[in-house]
A and B are shown apart, each in its own frame.
Chain A
Amino acid sequence: MASIVQFENVGLRYGTGAETLSDITMSLNSGAFYFLTGPSGAGKTSLLKMLYLAKRPTRGVIRLFGEDAGALPRARLPGFRRRIGVVFQDFRLVPHLSAYDNIALPLRVAGVHESDIEAPVREMLAWVGLTDRGKAKPPTLSGGEQQRIAIARAVIGRPEILVADEPTGNVDPDMAERLLHLFDSLNRLGTTVVVATHDFHLLNRIPNAHMMRLEKGRLNDPTGALRNPPGER
């Protein structure tokens, strides 16, 4: 499988403080499933932010879809971001928009005609089991429902990479397993999935998933996923 993301000696520093992430070198293969684990404060969210282009590295090189992401001009960032679906740790749903409109947002941003939006949004609502909650606004939804809307929004544009930051942090174990099942089904359709979690119970639920572990801003590779392409393991 081809590499879709490459980090080479990447470091990230906020302001003038110590490096939050140091010497991150990794390669993510297209169509694979990755877990990113590590204790709180290890730098998981920071790493994901660089992955979904919310942060530029302070050193090193990130190659995304074959291009140096650090050198991309601002004008090209939207095009790259549309190829990446993100499930934020705090969902980041737009509170004054309905669940339907939140899910439709990536399509509207991409300029899809309104008549071509309804069917995929309805499909997504059904996929996450919230068919009857389309008109509800996020503040009236439970944590699990908000999480599923966030996932639907992240995947409706058929992204090449799905990045999820602690997607099961606010839901009960049953819901966590259901969400993970959604990620797995998306991965089977060919999307590269990166899930950051510190919930070790989840790691065994996806048999083919690879695990990366961050500790104190440095990356360990307990499953060897980063050294060996999944197909060769």
Chain B
Amino acid sequence: MRFSLNPNAPDKRLLDESRRTRAMTWIMAIMLFLTVLAGALGLGMFTATAQLDRQLAGRLTVQIVEPNTQIRDSQAAAMVAALARVPGVTRATEADRARLAELLKPWLGDAGLDPDLPMPAMIDVEMRGGDVGAVERAARAIDPNARIDRHAQWLAPVRSFMSTMSWFAVGLMLLIAAATATVVLLAARAGLDTHRDTIEVLHMLGSTDLQIARLFQRRIAFDTLAGGLLGSGAALGVVWFLQSRMGALGSEMLSGVALQQRDWFLLLLLPIGFALLATFAARISVLRALAKTL
């Protein structure tokens, strides 16, 4: 049997198309819909986690808790100068006191604007690479009581949650892929039962197991691809809609979940990947079943 993609090719007529159901296509559409959603969640979380890592990895705040404003201001100025010299530090700036007072306003009201109110000096430090320990040493050389907050430390639970969600999505995708393979195995076996008489005749006429397996694997591949494109298209539409809604929220963290061009491309590959998986599963299933016959 020669195989071609021509829809009217004679080998396409060997299996009775009237006995074909569309159930497989719809099942695959649902499977791919769920897979693409899980994939989008996973990719979005991976992207957001990476962005969070990039943003937080080199950011820390040095606090100088000194009630004497003169000493505090001179320590702050010395601290900024010293930290700027530490290798890897790209920026060291003292937070604007007016801005700090603004942040405290909900709790202290206008009292926060009182220049006599003892407020710590806050120095924002951004690093690219470099040793955080060197920053700590430089800060403590000026003020042994300086407090150093690593941003990554207090956002660690958030990062951990996002990482867990990423791997949860990966697990979900693997689970759906396994379920898809199982559905294909069952469909291939059902197909063998449905077409048993034709297969027996083909065998007696000298068909090889591979020739027969190809008939099934091609049909299942087409069903999976058709259903997959349908399900993936719907899921990508949902993802695009959700992403545009998230963008409207204006949240810096949620905008990190937005899919990149590479992510969309990877999601588009999923129906093709599943079609290949289905083809392989159908081939294995049919060959194993045929091997039990003479």
Report if B11 contacts A (CB, 8 A): yes
Pull 14 A–B residue pairs with CB atoms less than 8 Å apart, ordered by A.
A54-B204, A75-B208, A79-B206, A82-B205, A92-B200, A94-B198, A94-B201, A97-B13, A101-B10, A101-B13, A105-B202, A108-B10, A109-B1, A114-B2
The 10 A-B pairs of least Cβ separation, nearest first, read: A82-B206, A81-B206, A96-B16, A78-B206, A78-B208, A109-B207, A106-B205, A109-B205, A92-B201, A108-B1
The residue in chain A whose Cβ has the minimal distance to the Cβ of B206 is: A82
Report if A126 contacts B (CB, 8 A): no
A114-B10 in contact (CB<8A): yes
| Contacting residue for B294 out of A56, A108, A113, A153, CB 8 A | A56
Q: 13 new A-B pairs (CB below 8 Å) besides A78-B206, A81-B205, A92-B201?
A: A52-B204, A78-B203, A92-B200, A92-B204, A96-B17, A101-B10, A108-B1, A109-B1, A109-B206, A109-B207, A110-B206, A111-B2, A113-B2
Cβ of A1: which chain B residues have Cβ within 8 Å of it?
Answer: none
- Whole-angstrom CA separation of A165 from B205 in the bound complex: 15
Docked complex: B184-206 residues within 8 A CB-CB of A? 197-198, 200-206
Nearest CB in chain A: distance from B5 CB, A:
14
Cβ of B14: which chain A residues have Cβ within 8 Å of it?
Answer: 94, 97
- Whole-angstrom CA separation of A82 from B203 in the bound complex: 10
B205-A105 in contact (CB<8A): yes
Nearest CB in chain B: distance from A99 CB, A:
13
B203-A81 in contact (CB<8A): yes
- What is the total of A-B residue contacts with beta carbons within 8 Å? 66
- Whole-angstrom CA separation of A189 from B205 in the bound complex: 21
Cβ of B243: which chain A residues have Cβ within 8 Å of it?
Answer: none
With A55-B294, A96-B18, A113-B2 as known contacts, state yes or no: A108 contacts B204, CB within 8 Å: no
With A97-B13, A108-B11 as known contacts, state yes or no: A77 contacts B202, CB within 8 Å: no
B204-A86 in contact (CB<8A): yes
Report the interface size class on chain B.
20 to 34
Docked complex: A116-146 residues within 8 A CB-CB of B? none
**DSSP class of B's interface residues: helix, strand, loop or mixed?**
helix
B residues with CB within 8 A of A? 1-2, 10-11, 13-14, 16-18, 197-198, 200-209, 211, 291, 294
- Whole-angstrom CA separation of A157 from B10 in the bound complex: 18
| Contacting residue for A106 out of B10, B200, B206, CB 8 A | B206
Report if A74 contacts B (CB, 8 A): yes
Report if A64 contacts B (CB, 8 A): no
- Whole-angstrom CA separation of A138 from B9 in the bound complex: 20
Nearest CB in chain A: distance from B16 CB, A:
4
A74-B13 in contact (CB<8A): no
Cβ of B11: which chain A residues have Cβ within 8 Å of it?
Answer: 108
Nearest CB in chain A: distance from B287 CB, A:
11
A92-B197 in contact (CB<8A): yes
Nearest CB in chain A: distance from B7 CB, A:
15
- Whole-angstrom CA separation of A168 from B153 in the bound complex: 90
Which of A54, A93, A109 has the most CB atoms of chain B within a 10 A radius of its CB?
Answer: A109
The residue in chain B whose Cβ has the minimal distance to the Cβ of A92 is: B201
Report if A179 contacts B (CB, 8 A): no
- Whole-angstrom CA separation of A28 from B11 in the bound complex: 35
Nearest CB in chain A: distance from B177 CB, A:
31
With A94-B14, A105-B205, A109-B202 as known contacts, state yes or no: A53 contacts B2, CB within 8 Å: no
